[in-house]
Structures are given as structure tokens and as C-alpha cells.
Amino acid sequence: HYPINFVTPGIMLPGALMLDFTLYLTRNWLVTALVGGGFFGLLFYPGNWPIFGPTHLPIVVEGTLLSMADYMGHMYVRTGTPEYVRHIEQGSFVSMLMFAVWWYLGKVYCTAFFYVKGKRGRVVQRNDVTAFG
């Protein structure tokens, strides 16, 4: 859904540091997994704020106040909204369509052909050896 210039790697450093710090203090794998894992999950989103902070700056475009993300066309569609449902339905349709297209191409191109010498001369025998018949 996003162009490549909107896709950034997530910064996991704050959560990983808290995970290591929890292991250093407790020296217990179970406590580290529970408490440090919680810190890791909680600090992932705030750790990425410096990346996305500039996209929330206000700008005026042709007399309209927008955020930089709106002006660039960066969409963050929340789940449960009609826009999200439309995205999911479109993705499901494309997925089913591509499955049918690639299944047909596999059936056409992955079929074994033989030439069998019989009483009538050379006869083409077709054995369908695809996974789904």
C-alpha cells in the first residue's frame, strides 16, 4: 500500500536496551521474557516517533492547513473503518485472481508430454502431473 519512500525500518533499539537491562538486573530468563518483553513492545512505538515526527508538521497548501503526511499522500487507515474494509476486500480479490492465474499457468507449463511409439506410429501422450490435477 505504501510507496518505497514511505517504508522505513522500525527502530528497536530502546526496547532491546530495556530487554538487555532487565536481563542484566534480574539474571532470570523468565522475568526477562515477561518484563523485558513488555518493555520491548511498549517502547517500539515511542522509539519510532523521531522518524515520523516531521510528517506531523503543519503546512499551508493553497490556503488549506494540512499535515506534511496528508500533503505527501501518506495514509494510515485504521482497522474497522470502511476504508480498511475496502482495502481488505480489494486485496482478497486480487489474491484470489492471482491464485487462479498462476494455477492455470502452472497447469499449462508443468504438464509432461511424451512421445510414445505404438502401432499407429508416433502418438503424443499427455500426463498431467500437476499437484492439483
Run means of pLDDT, 10 residues per run, the chain, 133 residues: 67 92 95 94 89 86 86 69 68 80 81 64 58 48
Instruction: Give the pLDDT confidence score for residue 109 in this predicted structure.
Output: 76
How far, in Å, are 70, 78, 85, 91 from residue 88 at the CA level? 22, 12, 5, 5
Count of CA atoms in the C-beta half-sphere (13 A) of 83 = 5
Where residue 63 falls (left for φ over 0; alpha for ψ -120 to 50; beta otherwise) is left
Indicate the pTM of the whole model. Answer: 0.46
How far, in Å, are 2, 7, 9, 72 from residue 51 at the CA level? 16, 11, 10, 15
For the residues of 75-130, what is the DSSP string, one character each?
--PPTTSHHHHHHHHHHHHHHHHHHHHHHHHHHHHT-EEEEEEETTEEEEEEE---
